[in-house]
Chain A
């Protein structure tokens, strides 16, 4: 089966038949406001009125596009995930395939996490754990995000990296470490220094020979464990 390089998520800004083209722009504007609102005010303050007034629309105008809270939430989930993929792809397509590729990718990944789309994502991910309704929309979207990110790696990573058995581990490691760090921002003392130290460490781990050593040891350890379980 060939994996699709297209994101398999509805585009919530798409204009349905018979609507004016202007609607798409309006929807984009409203969803952007909803995402920012989620990042700044949290899910508990996620109301149509507050979101509409952020971009000087009336509540009625918003409800014309997203008739109820559930429709709005669904749309914002898709919007946030699409936005993250968009940012990621943009960064990847601008990187040149030289020896600095890995290092710069880490920098881009970190910058991407400072965007409102990641803050909104954290909010959604956490709330989805205690909210069934949100979880039903969020989980499939998250799976699709994961699949798409992997596809993009196959499109943009240098051949040498793609052939490496530690590829998934490197990708996962950078992603989780950076997301964990970004999520905790502002919570610890000496944060700048600690963040710098850990960023230096992760760069070394995924771009140097010593790092390669532990990456493959970890992969081997993992497959040895799985072998044991199979028996």
Chain B
């Protein structure tokens, strides 16, 4: 995993330096590249190889859309191929089974969500990020995307589908690790915090927002209540960071 370059011991070198977020984003983009399965199929060279990688991205993007729109059960390789406008043959060449397709999609979604999140965080000023806790709003916005919807479909399906569960849980954990590693790059104010505290702040924010999303539509009328919950989270993470 490319993220190794910044692993534990060497993390400090990057912290707080200008360009730290770019480093994190770069790490994630590298990771996204790894998601695409090895394209060293015999006979493929040059542009063809590039085209092949492009096709996979097209297929993965189409899978995300299908998952968000039709749910896990309805998302067949046939449906994905149709909506990506790619022949069944080409589809099978890249992903022979639904399991293969879904396995790649899990990585793809996880890294894409992470990349989108960090990209938006990098646009915040220090004051917005550290003092006002705007990271909470940024995370909330990533939850309202079809990427999250697709992720949720996979997460819910993996509760009852044993084969999917094995893959999903393994990847979700690896992703959690990567997240913890990258956090100090993106949120330098957390760099000297013990990992339990970083995890606690993260768990508080993600669990609450995901729970909010589970009940989201009822909140559309009482939008103020949902906003108060998010304002609270922004205050609470500051408190966790200050160590009380």
Q: Which residues of A contact B (CB under 8 A)?
A: 40-45, 119, 122-123, 125-127, 129-131, 139, 142-143, 146, 168-169, 172-173, 175-181, 183-184, 186-189, 194, 197-198, 201-202, 205, 210, 214-215, 217-219, 221-222, 225-226
Bound CA–CA A173/B232 (angstroms): 9
Q: Does B209 belong to the interface (CB within 8 Å)?
A: yes
Q: Please report which residues of chain B, range 207-244, place their CB below 8 angstroms from some CB of chain A when the two chains form the complex.
A: 207-212, 214-215, 217-218, 224-229, 231-232, 234-236, 239-240, 244
Report yes or no: A219 in contact with B228, Cβ–Cβ below 8 A.
yes
A198's nearest neighbour on chain B, judged by CB, is B203
User: How close is A86's CB to chain B, nearest CB, in angstroms?
Assistant: 19
Having A183-B211, A201-B204, one finds 20 other A-B pairs with CB under 8 Å, namely A42-B156, A42-B157, A42-B159, A42-B160, A125-B215, A131-B71, A146-B218, A168-B228, A172-B212, A172-B228, A176-B208, A180-B207, A180-B208, A180-B214, A187-B169, A214-B236, A218-B232, A218-B234, A221-B231, A225-B231
B68's nearest neighbour on chain A, judged by CB, is A130
Q: Does B167 belong to the interface (CB within 8 Å)?
A: no
Bound CA–CA A97/B173 (angstroms): 41
Of A40, A180, A183, A197, the most chain B CB neighbours within 10 A belong to A180
Name 18 A/B residue pairs within 8 A (Cβ), A-sorted.
A42-B156, A122-B214, A127-B156, A130-B71, A172-B212, A172-B226, A176-B207, A176-B214, A177-B208, A179-B215, A181-B203, A189-B173, A201-B200, A215-B232, A218-B231, A219-B228, A222-B224, A222-B227
Contacts of B68 in A (CB 8 A): 130
Q: Does B122 belong to the interface (CB within 8 Å)?
A: no
Bound CA–CA A143/B219 (angstroms): 9
A42's nearest neighbour on chain B, judged by CB, is B160
With A187-B155, A189-B176, A210-B239 known as contacts, the answer to whether A42 contacts B161 (CB < 8 A) is: yes
Q: Please report which residues of chain B, range 113-163, place their CB below 8 angstroms from some CB of chain A when the two chains form the complex.
A: 149, 152-153, 155-157, 159-161
Q: Does B199 belong to the interface (CB within 8 Å)?
A: yes
Report yes or no: B73 in contact with A180, Cβ–Cβ below 8 A.
no
Report yes or no: A125 in contact with B204, Cβ–Cβ below 8 A.
no
User: How close is B172's CB to chain A, nearest CB, in angstroms?
Assistant: 5
With A176-B212, A194-B203 known as contacts, the answer to whether A210 contacts B228 (CB < 8 A) is: no
**Interface residues in B, total, Cβ within 8 A:** 51
Contacts of B208 in A (CB 8 A): 173, 176-177, 180
Contacts of A119 in B (CB 8 A): 159
Bound CA–CA A210/B232 (angstroms): 13
User: How close is A25's CB to chain B, nearest CB, in angstroms?
Assistant: 28
User: How close is A61's CB to chain B, nearest CB, in angstroms?
Assistant: 25
Contacts of A189 in B (CB 8 A): 173, 176-177
B235's nearest neighbour on chain A, judged by CB, is A214
Bound CA–CA A139/B203 (angstroms): 27
A142's nearest neighbour on chain B, judged by CB, is B218
Contacts of B72 in A (CB 8 A): 44
Contacts of B159 in A (CB 8 A): 42, 119, 123, 186
Choose among A129, A178, A221 the residue that contacts B211 (Cβ–Cβ < 8 A): A178
Q: Does B98 belong to the interface (CB within 8 Å)?
A: no
Bound CA–CA A188/B125 (angstroms): 31
Report yes or no: B173 in contact with A40, Cβ–Cβ below 8 A.
no
Q: Does B61 belong to the interface (CB within 8 Å)?
A: no
Contacts of A177 in B (CB 8 A): 204, 207-208, 211
